[in-house]
Amino acid sequence: MADDKFLKSLSKLGFPMFEPSEELDVNETLAEVVKSNDTRLWEGFPVLLANAGESYQFSSDLVERLLSTEELQEQYHRLLLLSVAVYDYYHLSFSWLNKLKRDFSSDDKNRVKGWRNALTHNQTPNWVANEFDPERVKGLFELYYEQKAEKNRRRKDRYEEFSLEYALSQVFSPKQKELFRKKLEGDPLNKTEQEYYSRTVKKKVVALANSELHSLARKLLEQ
């Protein structure tokens, strides 16, 4: 069996699926960030929490249980409320967060409102003894969402590419699909290819381009 070093080498050469998988414990990671007493990590907590919330593993109760003192649990609660203030500032909503918000007290809601207002005016909220840079918090979160948007765009592009490839495979044989792409991209066809394209492929292309046929096909799929 290949050892970890070999698998990591395969990953670097373009086979990341062979890289050893060490599943991330999102709850433990969040708890360690709370314990770190590192303001830079705390300023990035809204990003960490947003990513953690996408995992089926995430449990706010479990994060609290991993924190051994009331002081640490309160610190986690403050970071959670800070994150909600950031999400509210950007008008974001998450299903996992909506469940947590149901248990917020009136004091929690007032804190969120006050911190969101502080973010709006680039003011430092009351953050115990630690300095807190609202612009850095927003900058980190905006960078995260820019990267997330780009990732989603690439995923959508891949989906559309696979979807088109599947559709073409339902209509054209492999050879016909090749000629379709060559014609579409303006690549020259030899005499045999041109005759085959005109005799077979073009007829399918004309049929596919018929707007009434397209409308009828859509109607059938909606039934």
Could you report the per-residue pLDDT of 41-79, keeping only the tens digit for each?
888 899 899 988 888 889 999 999 999 999 999 999 999
Mean per-residue pLDDT of the chain: 80
36: closest CA among 61, 63, 72? Answer: 72
Report the alpha-carbon distance of residue 173 to residue 171 in Å, rounded.
Answer: 7
Residue 1 has a pLDDT of 41
Shared domain for 90 and 22, answered yes or no, is yes
Does the pLDDT value for residue 12 go beyond 80? no
Residue 177 has a pLDDT of 79
Shared domain for 25 and 133, answered yes or no, is yes
Shared domain for 49 and 136, answered yes or no, is yes
- H helices of 105-186, where? 106-120, 134-171, 174-184
Shared domain for 79 and 122, answered yes or no, is yes
- Of the chain, the percentage scoring pLDDT greater than 90 comes to 22
Does the pLDDT value for residue 99 go beyond 70? yes
Q: Which domain holds residue 86?
A: 4-148
Tell me what the mean pLDDT of segment 148-168 comes to.
67
Domain assignment present for residue 153? The answer is no
Report the alpha-carbon distance of residue 50 to residue 89 in Å, rounded.
Answer: 14
The burial class, CB within 10 Å (0-12 / 13-18 / 19+), for 99 is exposed
Question: Is the Cα dihedral 123, 125, 131, 133 positive or negative?
Answer: negative
Shared domain for 118 and 208, answered yes or no, is no
Tokens of 105: 């007290």
Shared domain for 184 and 129, answered yes or no, is no
Domain assignment present for residue 209? The answer is yes
Q: How many domains are there within the chain? A: 2
